[in-house]
Amino acid sequence: MKNESQIFPRWSNTLAWAGIAGLVLMGGTIVCLLAVVTRSPYLTRVDMPLEQPVPFSHEHHVGGMGIDCRYCHTTSEISPFAGMPSTETCMTCHSQVWKDAPMLQPVRDSFLSGKPIAWNRVHDLPDFVYFDHSAHVNKGVACRECHGRVDQMPLISRQETLFMGWCLACHRHPDEALGPRQAVFAPRPPDQNEIRFWLQTHTGRPASREMERLPSVTTQRLTDCTACHR
């Protein structure tokens, strides 16, 4: 018998539950899409070279010619910032080598005008993050741990997302990224024989003993918020 007090038909209950399930599914889909987009190269810029005023090739200068990182990034060991090379540094070579190359015209213009080249930053952390380049380098964190194999990059690109989770993963297990100071600026990971050679050469003590004294740090302060947010 039909209930005279019933306002909505019975199928309206099914419709209501289907609507609720649809809203939940839609909300979950939106969250997943946001997570995917946030971690996509479109936002993280991973493996996506930025356009630069001059197409500088680390593969040629570092991998091919063997130029040390510190020749251009002179403050990487003494300052929170690695620093960018002045135009005078570029012209040290390019006043003699490829001095008339069209692609180097911005370098020559900068040198004559005294106006620095406006390079686009590839690794740019938010202003609320404090990062000390020298602290990492002097503890034994190699350039390649963050910047990747720059000796294989015709055009430099970001290799890591620089998300907080990525930083914390290293801060929780720093020993996995630490090595001898002599290997910090090596473009490729050294093997154990090279590490032993460096340690014994620079300390004059048995390499086996020095291997046990590689940098080691406690993680308590490294995982405090104030380590990076000040």
Give how far Cα 174 sits from Cα of 11, 22, 139, 230, Å.
60, 45, 10, 21
Residue 56 near residue 67, CB atoms below 8 Å: no
Asked if 101 and 90 count as a contact pair (C-beta separation under 8 A), the reply is no
Mean pLDDT by 10 residues, the chain (230 residues): 65 83 89 81 88 95 94 94 94 93 96 94 92 92 93 94 93 84 84 67 50 57 89
Specify the pLDDT at position 160.
Answer: 93
Output the pLDDT for position 179.
Answer: 80
**pLDDT value, residue 3:** 57
User: Given this model, what pLDDT does residue 210 score?
Assistant: 44
For residue 146, which of 131, 128, 130 has the smallest C-alpha distance? 131
pTM: 0.75
Which is nearest to 103 in space by CA: 149, 60, 69?
Answer: 60
Query: What does the pLDDT read at residue 54?
Result: 95
CB 133 within 8 A of CB 79: yes
Q: pLDDT value at position 209?
A: 45
